A and B are shown apart, each in its own frame.
Chain A
């Protein structure tokens, strides 16, 4: 015998119990909202670079070199066999840009030649004439520059004709200097006497042959001074450095949020079946097959999940789309726009399938049990072996919840996972804060730098309050065998550990000029281990070799960093220089040292830990975290309300007896609070353990496997989350008590 089927029959059944259907729909919507947030954030960040790169037609290689006549460079590029297309620009840095009160002396002007552009026009048109300028989106947003208005560029005033997005760098103000584009024709008029080029954009026929092409390009580059290549993957790495770990953390969080939403959806659907267990028994008693019972539950759940899931996903997407889009804008990447509808539609299908399966499975299992057992086991509470709990109304509530052990454990598990995710977000926020303010986090032990010749290091070291000072040589090099792998080489004249001491993962520290410690990021990419030889090609084209003696867990440059002594580097590039790193003495005042350095005519810069130094950018990230946390908080509230609604419904006769004896709303609320509290008390340690032992290490590993991120939360944050859970328990019990208060006492008394 089959149950009356079809979506219309399901709709009729659901309309017959509107309250319960609404509760189920709210649960699906809450979990779907979390999923929507995760999909929006995760998909947006994961695909942002590729989307922007495709839209902007980002070249496979960007080559920078000293000024050369175009014909001279073009002759060499044309000779490359893998060349598909090329375009030239002339870049000027340190140009004054001004729009009204906004002004910067760090402007970057790029004169674009004919051919492919390598940037996308987001608004307006591209440059055509000498009087026109296209501004980067970051500048347009930050300064409120609109198409049609004029912008002072250097000595002249140009008409803004368009706004461009180019993902070959992060956006202003995350990038120090804003970029604008002018027509090649404007070169002679405004910026240079001769139309030379210093930047070439190269598109390849076969990007997989990038290494071979770069080798050929280097071989053909004789006479091109200051040649540096930036590959598309290198651009990606550079941009990732800007948001770096935080973007990776958000993507990692989205994965965890996704899993958490899945668990919640399944638990919610299973709880609904549990609530309707007696109905299953009746259906079986009337002769319906387990299959038809399961199908009915699957269909009923799907009919609820489809609209509720759509609403929840839409809410999650809307809440997180704005902050997510601002984050992408900061990275010069594009929001997915309507493309996001695809993943959201897939997520909706997933939600419906998950809810239907989660409803069908326990229904099928229940329907296969003996009918009498299902009918008896419906909602009859069993009070065997209830643990010793406090007396009073709160204690009574705790006992009522503890009676249903399996349900309580399931609720504790779901709430614990959600609480763990919230704690992880707090840990991430704390990490962001530390990344911004605490250089020690990334192994930096110096607090100030000054741009000064290496010879002044001793003079600075003698200043009161200064513990040590040494030149910090930095050069970006390429691996000689895999030229696409760029890495950062940091060199100190002596022991580097007083200034930078990333934890040693293997081997030992550098002791001589021919040795190097290698970050695990580059070690993993190149398969380098202690004992191996590392050959690096410097920007000058000279090669230097080091023996790898240790692996370090370095944050810097995503772990693509090499620590060594400068002798070999200086031999290969005598012009190499770097700022002087200053380590303050214990208890020394930074301000005092800054004043003393000022008296020497030096301008010290404070050292930060984060790869990004922009407070606005961190604010965007914080907004994103808050949005996700808000959704998660609502989900936690729903979990508690649903657990209480189930307990209240099951124990309505108990509540009715209490009310008949003179219990008012306040006492009922206390009973329900006790039922919620016992769940919270179980979930809180689970959440803490989950964060410390599972989520934080997992997120850390997903975000940056090359270091150990200190994502563990502090006592204060744990206290905040536990207090938040208790507040949510109070709110949930108030909501459920209010609902119960509307029911007539007599109805509850008759329920047995």
Chain B
């Protein structure tokens, strides 16, 4: 089942002579249960594409369809609602909130849902499934990078999104921790979710169902 389809995406930064077209007609689709790896040199536009698919930014041209809705036509409120219900994000630097415990960080997005009554139970299950029982009551500063990233994956999954977007999730981890995180993402995708993985990691490319390379603003398989 197709989760997201993006067609002829164009995105430029700067203006005049300094203008740079980062995406120049990029096409991409992700199916349920699929893990897609996106690779390319630094500055090639990988994160930009991820942000467009996640409704964090808008394309200059082209269309993105997610859960039957056209993202470029949605209002800010509509994009917010889509992110809340359909999309989960995992960041390279984890972006856990240092004042909250691991469990509170995981639970935070659930507070955004109007029907978040089952969220605590779901969060606890995720924490247990991801082996984060010891990390849950502790603050991020007391946790290893691998634990923090697994908590951020749990946080991304707490609202049960269809699409998970991971931006360099292993970029700030040692080899072992990175391996665990990739296994986890693979497991996430097997649960009928789509996962887009922006990475420089060769191992990440190996576990992906498809590997897309961003070159000259376009995607090649």
Which A residues are closer than 8 A to B by beta carbons? 381-384, 386, 391-393, 396, 399-400, 402-403, 653-654, 656-664, 667, 741, 744-746, 749, 752
Other-chain residue from B57, B93, B97, B98 in contact with A746 (beta carbon distance below 8 A): B57
**Is the CB–CB distance between B56 and A746 below 8 Å?**
yes
Known: A391-B104, A399-B100. A744 touches B95 (CB 8 A): no
Knowing that A661-B155, A663-B112, A746-B51 are A-B contacts, what are 9 other residue pairs whose CB atoms are under 8 Å apart, sorted by A's residue number?
A: A386-B99, A396-B97, A396-B99, A402-B99, A659-B80, A661-B109, A661-B112, A662-B81, A667-B112
Chain B residues closer than 8 Å to A399, beta-carbon distance? 99-100
Closest B residue, CB atoms, query A662: B84
12 A-B pairs with C-beta separation under 8 A: A382-B98, A399-B99, A653-B95, A660-B56, A661-B108, A661-B109, A662-B109, A662-B112, A662-B159, A663-B80, A749-B91, A749-B95
CB distance from B62 to the nearest CB of A (A): 17
Closest B residue, CB atoms, query A399: B99
CB distance from B115 to the nearest CB of A (A): 13
Known: A391-B104, A745-B56, A749-B95. A383 touches B111 (CB 8 A): no
Contact with A along B48-68 (1 / 0, CB 8 A): 000100101100000000000
- Is B5 an interface residue, CB under 8 A from the partner? no
Known: A391-B104, A746-B51. A660 touches B89 (CB 8 A): yes
Other-chain residue from B80, B91, B104, B111 in contact with A657 (beta carbon distance below 8 A): B91
CA distance A403 to B156 in the complex (A): 25
**Is the CB–CB distance between B83 and A661 below 8 Å?**
yes
Chain A residues closer than 8 Å to B98, beta-carbon distance? 381-383, 403
Chain B residues closer than 8 Å to A744, beta-carbon distance? 56-57
- Interface residue tally on B, bucketed by range: 20 to 34
Closest A residue, CB atoms, query B95: A657
- Is B124 an interface residue, CB under 8 A from the partner? no
CA distance A738 to B84 in the complex (A): 20
CB distance from B86 to the nearest CB of A (A): 9
Other-chain residue from A392, A659, A741 in contact with B111 (beta carbon distance below 8 A): A392
**Is the CB–CB distance between A660 and B83 below 8 Å?**
yes
CB distance from A745 to the nearest CB of B (A): 5
Chain B residues closer than 8 Å to A663, beta-carbon distance? 80, 84, 112
**Is the CB–CB distance between A662 and B80 below 8 Å?**
yes
Closest A residue, CB atoms, query B98: A383
Chain B residues closer than 8 Å to A654, beta-carbon distance? 95, 97
Chain B residues closer than 8 Å to A402, beta-carbon distance? 99
Closest 5 CB pairs of A and B: A662-B84, A383-B98, A399-B99, A661-B109, A662-B83
Q: How many A-B residue pairs have CB under 8 A?
A: 80
- Is B85 an interface residue, CB under 8 A from the partner? yes
Known: A663-B80, A745-B56, A746-B56. A658 touches B108 (CB 8 A): yes
* Chain B positions 105-120 with a Cβ under 8 Å from a chain A Cβ: 108-109, 111-112
**Is the CB–CB distance between A396 and B100 below 8 Å?**
yes
Closest A residue, CB atoms, query B83: A662
- Is B77 an interface residue, CB under 8 A from the partner? yes
Chain A residues closer than 8 Å to B57, beta-carbon distance? 744-746
CA distance A657 to B77 in the complex (A): 16
**Is the CB–CB distance between B108 and A660 below 8 Å?**
no
* Chain B positions 149-168 with a Cβ under 8 Å from a chain A Cβ: 155-156, 159
CA distance A399 to B54 in the complex (A): 28
CB distance from B108 to the nearest CB of A (A): 7
Other-chain residue from B89, B93, B104 in contact with A661 (beta carbon distance below 8 A): B89
Chain B residues closer than 8 Å to A667, beta-carbon distance? 111-112
CB distance from A735 to the nearest CB of B (A): 18
CA distance A400 to B76 in the complex (A): 25
CA distance A661 to B56 in the complex (A): 10
**Is the CB–CB distance between B83 and A752 below 8 Å?**
no
**Is the CB–CB distance between B99 and A393 below 8 Å?**
no
**Is the CB–CB distance between A657 and B99 below 8 Å?**
no
Chain B residues closer than 8 Å to A658, beta-carbon distance? 108
Chain A residues closer than 8 Å to B93, beta-carbon distance? 752
Chain A residues closer than 8 Å to B155, beta-carbon distance? 661
CA distance A667 to B156 in the complex (A): 18
**Is the CB–CB distance between B111 and A393 below 8 Å?**
yes
Closest A residue, CB atoms, query B141: A383
CA distance A204 to B56 in the complex (A): 84
CA distance A662 to B83 in the complex (A): 5
CA distance A663 to B76 in the complex (A): 11
- Is B139 an interface residue, CB under 8 A from the partner? yes
CA distance A746 to B155 in the complex (A): 19
CA distance A382 to B82 in the complex (A): 32
CB distance from B105 to the nearest CB of A (A): 10
Known: A383-B98, A384-B141. A664 touches B104 (CB 8 A): no
CA distance A656 to B87 in the complex (A): 15
Chain A residues closer than 8 Å to B139, beta-carbon distance? 383
Known: A384-B141, A653-B95, A654-B95. A664 touches B100 (CB 8 A): no
Chain B residues closer than 8 Å to A403, beta-carbon distance? 98-99
Closest B residue, CB atoms, query A653: B95
CA distance A403 to B99 in the complex (A): 8
**Is the CB–CB distance between B99 and A664 below 8 Å?**
no
CA distance A694 to B36 in the complex (A): 67
CA distance A584 to B54 in the complex (A): 80
CB distance from A169 to the nearest CB of B (A): 65
CA distance A383 to B96 in the complex (A): 12
**Is the CB–CB distance between A400 and B56 below 8 Å?**
no
Chain B residues closer than 8 Å to A659, beta-carbon distance? 80, 83
**Is the CB–CB distance between B80 and A664 below 8 Å?**
yes
CA distance A658 to B96 in the complex (A): 10
Closest B residue, CB atoms, query A385: B139
**Is the CB–CB distance between B77 and A664 below 8 Å?**
yes
CA distance A663 to B97 in the complex (A): 15
Contact with A along B10-48 (1 / 0, CB 8 A): 000000000000000000000000000000000000000
**Is the CB–CB distance between A660 and B112 below 8 Å?**
no
Closest B residue, CB atoms, query A667: B112
CB distance from A44 to the nearest CB of B (A): 49
